[in-house]
């Protein structure tokens, strides 16, 4: 097992901490005891005290090829020197066209058009708009209802929080009308400690038929789901669930969207979860691993039939009044092309499937530790679900997260759920260290 280097003496940061309002962070708590990273290489971060921190989360589900990849840095540097920015409104440059072709090559069959965004949030809102525009172009403008799922995370745009189902992401804001939700698929009572996809719960997909009966198929534009829910704490689809959703949506002419922002680019053992679980949606969203987290970029991959429906007007007409200044940004596209080449040359898009059994065995070795009520896994994803303390939900999970960091391991906590999604370059020795550290911390956290 690798030893961490000796720690440098703690010192006050040379910069002030007040001006930056940190996202999804308890700012006052953090700034009372900061956790600051300053460099990264391979599987490890180094913090400002000189301590190595093993990355158990691929940054934030995004650094699938590990950190400090010189191929990406060099591609970005070359591109900035050659051309830092070029518009894609009524203009073009070669890189996004090349990148789109490369994505189509690895995409599920039929998803052969790509619209570029700058994040997963933007990709979700774009996909929802494409679905609405598609139906309107076909003379079915009554299809305006969007269906998401409880406990889903689809980014932080108004479209994303509306179809999303995490209460804290919604309660302080207004949401879109014409939205409904399917029930989530977390069922600890029946599926606790299942290895891989849970066997019970496929009938949850049949709730879509209930919503169709309630609202009328002629009024429903799209259903959007994450193949697995990450931000809610690694909630997995029951065996057959995604297939059932596909069958129902196809029968009723409803667009099916997979949000693959976290599952794309090898996380579950295939380029996309749609391929691992053999269900092809009409659209999927991607981001994070698209550039290995190096430069912000997102994308919507869609079936050409959706684009073709908008191509019936005059040739000089803009078919889809939507886009971003940085759609297909040259530097982001260069980073993405370099990333895809790493994935190809190192066969990272399927490596999670090869490591899955060992990862699963190690994770489930934590069963029986104090307060562990469930363990969930698929590909190189895992969750350890801890019992909540009375009158203090989330406090146990946060303490485990914070103690893991101080002991050289980065995990992610969602309430009392510890989520793991390490870089795809992980070796068995790294897995051992993750499980040893996490298990020790759980054992010592009352």
CA 323 from centroid of its chain's CA atoms: 22
What are the pLDDT tens digits along the chain (446 aa)? 334 444 444 445 468 999 999 999 999 999 999 999 999 999 999 999 999 999 999 999 999 999 999 999 999 999 999 999 999 999 999 999 999 999 999 999 999 999 999 999 999 999 999 999 999 999 999 999 999 999 999 999 999 999 999 999 999 999 999 999 999 999 999 999 999 999 999 999 999 999 999 999 999 999 999 999 999 999 999 999 999 999 999 999 999 999 999 999 999 999 999 999 999 999 999 999 999 999 999 999 999 999 999 998 899 999 999 999 999 999 999 999 999 999 999 999 999 999 999 999 999 999 999 999 999 999 999 999 999 999 999 999 999 999 999 999 999 999 999 999 999 999 999 999 999 999 999 999 99
220-225 and 145-149: which strand pairing?
parallel
> Within this chain, do residues 224 and 272 fall inside the same structural domain, yes or no?
yes
**CA dist 251 → 212, 217, 244, 245, 281 (Å):** 11, 10, 11, 10, 13
- Two tokens, residue 185: 């698929």
CB neighbours of residue 129 within 10 Å: 16
Phi, psi angle pair for 105, to nearest 5°: -60, -30
Number of domains in the chain: 2
* 355 in the same domain as 301: no
Q: Which of 325, 345, 365 is the last residue of a domain?
A: 345
| 82 and 44 within one domain | no
Where is the domain boundary, 316, 345, 374?
A: 345
CATH code, domain carrying 94: 3.40.640.10
Residue 6 lies in a domain: no
Phi, psi (5° rounding) for residue 97?
-65, -45
Which residues partner with 384 through β-bridges?
375, 418
* Structural domain boundaries, residue 392: 27-64+348-443
Measured CA angle at 372 (ends 384, 2), to 5 deg: 55
Shared-domain flag, residues 371 and 311: no
Strand (E) or helix (H) holding 257: strand 255-259
The model's pTM: 0.95
Q: Please check whether residue 198 lies inside any domain of the structure.
A: yes
């Amino acid at each position: 097992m690798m030893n961490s280097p000796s720690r440098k003496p703690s010192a006050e940061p040379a910069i002030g901490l007040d001006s930056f309002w940190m996202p999804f962070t308890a700012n006052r708590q953090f700034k009372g005891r900061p956790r600051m990273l300053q460099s990264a290489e391979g599987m490890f971060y180094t913090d400002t005290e000189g301590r190595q921190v093993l990355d158990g989360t691929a940054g934030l589900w995004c650094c699938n090829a590990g950190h400090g990849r010189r191929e990406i840095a060099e591609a970005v540097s070359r591109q900035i020197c050659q051309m830092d920015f070029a518009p894609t409104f009524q203009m073009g440059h070669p890189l996004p066209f090349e990148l789109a072709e490369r994505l189509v090559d690895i995409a599920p069959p039929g998803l052969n058009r790509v619209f570029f965004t700058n994040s997963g949030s933007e990709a979700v809102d774009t996909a929802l708009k494409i679905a609405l525009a598609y139906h309107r172009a076909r003379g079915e403008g009554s299809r305006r209802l969007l269906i998401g799922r409880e406990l889903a995370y689809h980014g932080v745009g108004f479209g994303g929080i509306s179809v999303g189902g995490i209460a804290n992401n919604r309660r302080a804001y207004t949401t879109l009308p014409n939205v409904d939700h399917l029930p989530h698929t977390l069922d600890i009572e029946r599926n606790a400690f299942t290895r891989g996809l849970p066997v019970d719960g496929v009938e949850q997909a049949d709730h879509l038929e209930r919503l169709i009966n309630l609202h009328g198929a002629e009024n429903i534009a799209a259903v959007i789901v994450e193949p697995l829910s990450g931000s809610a704490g690694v909630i997995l689809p029951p065996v057959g669930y995604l297939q059932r959703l596909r069958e129902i949506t196809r029968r009723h002419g409803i667009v099916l969207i997979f949000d693959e922002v976290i599952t794309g680019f090898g996380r579950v053992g295939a380029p996309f979860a749609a391929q691992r679980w053999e269900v092809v949606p009409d659209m999927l969203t991607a981001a994070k691993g698209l550039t290995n987290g190096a430069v912000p970029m997102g994308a919507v991959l869609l079936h050409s039939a959706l684009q073709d429906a908008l191509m019936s007007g005059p040739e000089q007409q803009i078919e889809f009044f939507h886009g971003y200044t940085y759609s297909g940004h040259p530097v982001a596209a260069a980073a993405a092309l370099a990333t895809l080449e790493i994935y190809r040359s190192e066969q990272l898009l399927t490596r999670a499937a090869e490591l899955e059994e060992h990862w699963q065995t190690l994770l489930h070795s934590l069963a029986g530790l104090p307060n562990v009520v469930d363990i969930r896994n698929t590909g190189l994803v895992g969750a350890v679900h801890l019992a909540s303390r009375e009158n203090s939900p989330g406090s146990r999970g946060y303490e485990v997260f914070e103690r893991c960091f101080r002991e050289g391991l980065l995990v992610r906590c969602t309430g009392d759920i510890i989520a793991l999604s390490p870089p795809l370059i992980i070796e068995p020795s790294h897995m051992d260290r993750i499980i040893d550290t996490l298990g020790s911390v759980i054992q010592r956290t009352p």
